[in-house]
Amino acid sequence: MLTLILPALRGLMARGDTLPRLARVQPEGGEPLLTVPPGCDDAFAVLQSHVPPGTSRVTLDTGGTYEAVFTDLPGRAAGRIALVTGAAQGFGFEIACDLAAQGAWVALADINEAGVLAAAEQVNEACGRSAAVGVAVNVADPDSARAAVAAAVTAFGGIDLLVSNAGVLRAGSVKTLPVKDLRFVTDVNYHGYFLMVQAVAPILALQHRAVPSRWFDIIQINSKSGLTGSNKNGAYAGSKFGGIGLTQSFALELVEDGIKVNSICPGNFYDGPLWSDPEKGLFKQYLDSGKVPGAKTFEDVKRFYESKVPMRRGCTTPDVMKALYYLMEQTYETGQAVPVTGGQVMLA
């Protein structure tokens, strides 16, 4: 129930279209006491009649006392609350770091619970404040997805931005790829994106109901393989093509709730574990599968793929962040798949 109460409360405590972070505090005794009946199907309506404009602190009869905290931090994500999946390492971790450096509060979520808790601490150390929390999630499990969203809401009071970054890859020919690998890739990349949006969309909609002038964002980190086929990599490319179909469909449906939905399609991120992990990374998978003719080493595989890029290098996190901040700041764009590929994929 708290998962639906806090975002509504956060919206009602907004100043203009600026929503606060909600901090759990000790009661002082003069706060309004709010009661939301168990099983209430419209907590917003109940709260709306008891939270006048300018309210900065309230006590929930079953949920403690909360204070609205407005940030004076600088940055392109200042005051935003973000949930980033697949954030224990790689792109997800670096995205979370950049968001925090730009003034956001960030819930890092990953199936690797120990890793994501450590990653959140690294974010806090890097930005010099308690900006991040770590949350365990299996994006392919609906109960786990809902629990991760609830944990982010409990920590910060709501969510402004979902970065659906969790992704996996199993390369191989359609002739030989095990069905279990196909299911694994599809469960995480396609079902996981769907389930995270399903869990977070009601939160964003509640906040928009309270502040109709404010837009919220869902951004999927897709891939250039979601824009063009990938030889001996059909499971991954198929899941990413499907993700763009979800993005377009979600955008059409959720626009009425003040939610923009877009995808970013990066080129190859060679420095991340998806590529560089010595046991499971793509350098090893592509070398073992014979996807790169004549390749004998990881470096041979890397040179082969770099040669396909007009700008002759892989994609980096700063490249992706430029696209991410553009999509957050652009209030007239939804349903798009933005390539960040160094010219390797060009849209007509």
CA distance 221 to 262: 9
Residue with tokens 């954030």: 87
DSSP code string of 23-47: EEE---S-SPEE---TT-S-HHHHH
End-to-end CA distance of the chain: 47
CA distance 80 to 170: 34
Do the beta carbons of residue 119 and residue 111 sit within 8 Å? no
Q: Who's near 176: CB < 8 A, 6+ residues apart?
A: none
Tell me, yes or no, if 305 is annotated catalytic: no
The active-site residue, picked from 236, 270, 286, 305, is 236
Q: What is the Rg, in whole angstroms, of the alpha carbon atoms belonging to the chain?
A: 21
Maximum distance among all alpha carbons in the chain? Answer: 74
CA distance 229 to 14: 45
Which residues are designated catalytic? 236
